[in-house]
Amino acid sequence: MSIFAWIILGLLAGFIGSKIVNRSGEGILLDIVLGVLGAVIGGWIFNFFGHAGVTGLNLYSLLVAVVGSIIFLVAYHALRRA
């Protein structure tokens, strides 16, 4: 997957994850970073449980990235408040 596709997927996943976790975005750059990290984390978690991770720019990969983004955002907010 190209870097451009990772950025698009990360932006979408970060934006959706931010809206689910705290109802307001973290800002465009932080949404992209958190989304890409979430995609990596989500892909690793899905692979760990025997499912395909991020496979390209499609709805399944977006779901994987959003799940990872939500997990990452919950941990991020928990550490930021501590």
Count other Cβ atoms within 10 Å, centred on residue 59.
7
Query: Which pLDDT belongs to residue 35?
Result: 73
Classify the phi-psi angles of 23: left when phi > 0, otherwise alpha if psi is within -120 to 50, otherwise beta: left
Q: Provide the number of structural domains found in the chain.
A: 1
pLDDT-derived band at 55, boundaries 50, 70, 90: confident
| pLDDT score recorded for residue 1 | 63
Whole domain around residue 21: which residue ranges? 3-81
The per-residue pLDDT for range 1-13, each reduced to its tens digit, is 677 877 788 788 8
CA atoms within 13 A on the CB side of 67: 14
The pLDDT of residue 25 is 60
The span from the CA of 14 to the CA of 45, in Å, is 17
Other Cβ atoms within 10 Å of 5 Cβ, number: 13
Residue 34 near residue 17, CB atoms below 8 Å: yes
For the whole prediction, is pTM greater than 0.75?
A: yes
